[in-house]
Amino acid sequence: MPMKPARCYTHFSGPPYTRKEYIPGVPPPKITKFEMGNIKGEYDYVVELVVIEAGQIRHNALEAARVMTHKYMATNVGEDNYFLKIRVYPHHVLREHKMMAFAGADRLQEGMRHAFGKPVGTAARVYPGQAIIEIRVRKEHLQHAKEALRIGGSKIPLPTRIVIREYKKKPVAG
C-alpha cells in the first residue's frame, strides 16, 4: 500500500496566526534570500509559478523550491542572465501539540484533545492564481526558466502551473 505524503499543514481553516510579538519562541523562516540574480538586467519575459488551489506552503518547502530553481538557472544560464524572486513570505505561525512518539507511548499519554500547541514553524498562505516564484529572462533563456520552475514546483505541496508574460519595465518618474 503506497504511503500518502504528510499534508498536516497544507490546507487551512480559520484566521492566520501571525502576531509574532505575542508568540514566544517562533522559529525563524529557513528561507534566506528572496531575490537572486541580476536585478538590473534587460529582460523580455517574466515566467511565474502560480498556484491553482488555496493552501499553505511551509518555509522549508519554499526554501527547497528556491534552492532548486536558483541552482538550475545558475548552472544553465549564468548568474547575470536572470532575476529570480520569491513573491510570498511565510507569516503564518504553525503550531503543534507535541505528543510522545515512541513504543508504548499510548500507555503514558492520552493528551488533551484540540490543544493549542507550541510554534513549530511558519508558512505562507496562498490563494488560487497567486504567483509564488517569478523569473525574469531574455527570450533565448525562456525554456530554461520554464524547466527551472517545473523543478521548483515539484517541491511545492500544492498543484501549480507556469505562466509566461512579457516584461514591461516601469518608466522612471523624473
- Domains of the chain, each with CATH number or no CATH: 30-96+119-166 (3.90.1170.10)
Q: Summarize pLDDT for 95-138 with one digit per residue, the tens.
A: 887 776 666 656 656 667 777 778 888 999 999 999 999 999 99
Task: Please provide the DSSP assignment of 35-54 as one string.
Answer: EEE-TTS--SEEEEEEESS-
Q: What was the pLDDT predicted at 31? A: 87
What is residue 105's three-state secondary structure? helix
Q: What was the pLDDT predicted at 139? A: 92
The burial class, CB within 10 Å (0-12 / 13-18 / 19+), for 90 is buried
What is residue 100's three-state secondary structure? coil
Which region among 20-29, 108-117, 164-173 has the lowest average model confidence (pLDDT)?
108-117
* pTM metric for this prediction: 0.82
Alpha carbons 107 and 72: distance in angstroms, whole number? 49
Residue 108 has a CB neighbour count (10 Å cut-off) of: 10
